[in-house]
Amino acid sequence: MDRPFRHILHPTDLSVASRIAFRHALKLALVTDAKLTVMHVSGDDDGVDWSAFPGVRQHLEAWGILPPNSTPENVGTLGLRIRKVSARGSDPVAACMDYEARHAADLIVVATSQREAPLD
């Protein structure tokens, strides 16, 4: 049977809402054996704070998939292929679309804001 997804792209602004979307993207990558790219676009020239990216092992440990204090090698035994990408630019959407054009994704998992609908 063909895999439904080979590559999942998760653009993140590193917010709480994006962390929820990350969990969905990670779980989908795990169950479909897809490569997962987590991408953050920043206008800062200060460099990348990789510790601000969501922790793959932290989530897999919390889900009981990996043992506590696991290593990157433990992630590899699951067949997960995770790539964290940082890009600089003033337009995050354009940067993500440019990346996607060069590294085609089957699915893009993004966070949305919850809005309250007026009750009539």
Q: Quickly name the fold that domain 7-108 has.
A: Rossmann fold (3.40.50)
- Per-residue pLDDT at 28 exceeds 80: yes
The domain locations on the chain are 7-108
3-state percent breakdown (helix, strand, coil) of the chain, nearest 5: 35, 20, 45
> Element (H or E) spanning 36, and its range?
strand 35-42
pLDDT of residue 55: 92
Lowest-confidence region among 6-10, 48-52, 53-57: 48-52
Report pLDDT for 17: 85
